[in-house]
């Protein structure tokens, strides 16, 4: 397959690909519990592979995935899930490791630092000549941060003579909710199917109980026992089609995305 990962390419190849399609995909995520059957990097791995598929289908380059920097005390299974003690036990760790304050600075400070990091990344991408920058948060709560970063970034570059760069963000499931009734979950049928398709060999459904009604620790959604790579591939194609259409529209009509109050 065509190599689209930015850091793997030499300058002359980067220039050729960027001039053909000046789009930068930036996968972001976290390291978080996704059941006994999935790797803890599922969110970011999923986002990276979706970005690669999008770049291969519609053009553009994929920047290194960001696993770190997000707020670790909100919207995190180890810290906030109702069964967080069972999650900690599965890791062989005391739950106190994830108690409020364990990061050493406040929740607001963590969130502010992450938002600044995302805006920093957008400025770096713009300096490298890209006209559209696309965040892909594999961890769904990070979509709010990505959208906020896009809005702040737009305000700082709106009147800059060095040229406009349109920033946008997607997770995937929200783009196809009109097609798939149960789009989006945590470590269940949807996410597990996606990983089976995007990263073969990383999930192990054999560790799951045969009884679909048995409660699974830190899993939310339809039974992951029914997940398949075939369904994951079908979802992937639908997401890629809609992402590339959104990106193409921003490339062809950037002025439509440079005014106040428009959707990101």
Residue 217 dihedral angles phi and psi, to the nearest 5°: -70, 125
| Domain-embedded: residue 213 | no
| Domain-embedded: residue 220 | no
When the pLDDT of each residue in the chain is averaged and rounded to a whole number, the result is 95
Which SS3 state, helix, strand or coil, does residue 48 take?
helix
Mind giving me the DSSP string for 137-174? ESSTTHHHHHHHHHHHHHHHHTT-TT---EEEE--SGG
Gap between the Cα atoms of 61 and 33, Å rounded: 29
pLDDT tens for 132-180 read 999 999 999 999 999 999 999 998 887 676 778 999 999 999 999 999 9
- What's the structural domain count of the chain? 1
Look up the domain containing 83 and give its range: 6-172+240-257
pLDDT tens for 215-236 read 999 999 999 999 999 999 999 9
CA-nearest of 153, 218, 156, 152 to 187 is 218
Gap between the Cα atoms of 7 and 115, Å rounded: 23
| Domain-embedded: residue 212 | no
| Domain-embedded: residue 234 | no
| Domain-embedded: residue 192 | no
| Domain-embedded: residue 21 | yes
| Domain-embedded: residue 66 | yes
Residue 215 dihedral angles phi and psi, to the nearest 5°: -65, 135
| Domain-embedded: residue 77 | yes
The CATH number for 63's domain is: 3.40.50.10310
């Amino acid at each position: 397959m065509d190599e689209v990962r930015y850091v793997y390419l030499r300058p002359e190849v980067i220039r050729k690909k960027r001039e053909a399609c000046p789009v930068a995909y930036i996968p972001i995520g976290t390291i978080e519990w996704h059941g006994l059957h999935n790797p803890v990097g599922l969110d970011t791995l999923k986002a990276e592979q979706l970005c690669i598929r999008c770049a291969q289908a519609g053009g553009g380059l994929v920047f290194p995935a960001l696993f770190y920097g997000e707020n670790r005390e909100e919207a995190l299974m180890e810290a906030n899930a109702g069964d967080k003690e069972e999650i900690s036990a599965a890791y062989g760790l005391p739950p106190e490791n994830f108690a409020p304050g364990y990061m050493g600075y406040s929740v607001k400070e963590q969130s502010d630092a992450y938002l600044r990091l995302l805006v920093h990344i957008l400025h770096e991408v713009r300096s490298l000549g890209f006209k559209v920058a696309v965040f892909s948060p594999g961890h769904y709560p990070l979509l709010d941060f990505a959208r906020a970063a896009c809005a702040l970034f737009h305000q700082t570059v709106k009147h800059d003579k060095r040229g406009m760069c349109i920033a946008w963000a997607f997770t995937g499931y929200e783009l196809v909710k009109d097609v798939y009734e149960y789009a989006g979950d945590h470590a269940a049928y949807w996410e597990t199917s996606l990983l089976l398709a995007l990263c073969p060999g990383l999930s192990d459904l054999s560790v799951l109980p045969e009884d679909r009604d048995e409660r699974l620790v830190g899993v939310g959604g339809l039974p992951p026992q029914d997940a398949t790579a075939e369904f994951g591939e079908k979802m992937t194609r639908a997401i890629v089609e809609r992402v590339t259409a959104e990106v193409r529209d921003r490339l062809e009509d950037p002025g439509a995305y440079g005014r106040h109050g428009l959707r990101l």
